[in-house]
Amino acid sequence: MQVNNHQLSDITFVPSPNFDSRPSDEISLVVIHAISLPLGNYDTSLIRDLFTNNLKIDLHPSFQDLKDLRVSSHLLITRIGEIIQFVPFNLRAWHAGISSYEGRENCNDFSIGIELEGCDHEIFTAEQYHALNQILRTLADEYAITRENIVGHSDIAPGRKTDPGPFFMWNKIKL
C-alpha cells in the first residue's frame, strides 16, 4: 500500500464534497471512528451516500437527524476489509466535529479520520484490523504518525462521542 498524491493506491476513491483546505500542512493525528446506518446495520452504500450528501432521509426514522448534515471521513473500512477513500489526506475532512487533543482544538485541522463500519455494541472483524494496520503503517511512513497519536473519536470528544467503543481492541493495533 502506498500514498500517491495524498491518496492510497489501489483502493476505491469516492469523492466527497464535504471537505476544505487545512490551515497548515500538518498531519499528526489519526482518529478512529465507528459508523453504521442505521445503528447496527451494515449497508456500506448508506455510509457512502451520507459522505456524498446523497442519503435519502426517508429510508429510516433515525435518518431524520442527519438531514442537512455535511460530514465525511478520509477513509472507510468495511466489514470485509474493503477500503474506500473519500477525501485526500492533504485536505480537511469533516469527521471530528467539536474536538480537542492535548489542548489543541479543532482536530479536523491536523488529523486523518478513519471510519470502521461498526458500532459500540459489536466486535470489529479481523479483516478490518488487517486493513487498518496496513493503513496505519502506510500513514506512519508517509506522515510520521506515531502510535501515541492514534486515538478514538471518544478520546477527542469525550462526553459527546463514544466510538469506536468498548469492543474496539486497541491491542490489535500494530504500528
Annotated catalytic residues are 115
Return all residues near 112 (Cβ < 8 A) that are at least 6 apart. Answer: 27, 29, 30, 31, 74, 75, 89, 93, 139, 143, 145
Backbone angles phi, psi at 15, to 5 degrees: -65, 130
Q: How far out from the chain centre does Cα 30 lie?
A: 9
Residue 63 zone, left/alpha/beta (φ > 0; ψ -120 to 50; rest): alpha
Question: At which residue does the C-alpha cell 469523492 appear?
Answer: 15
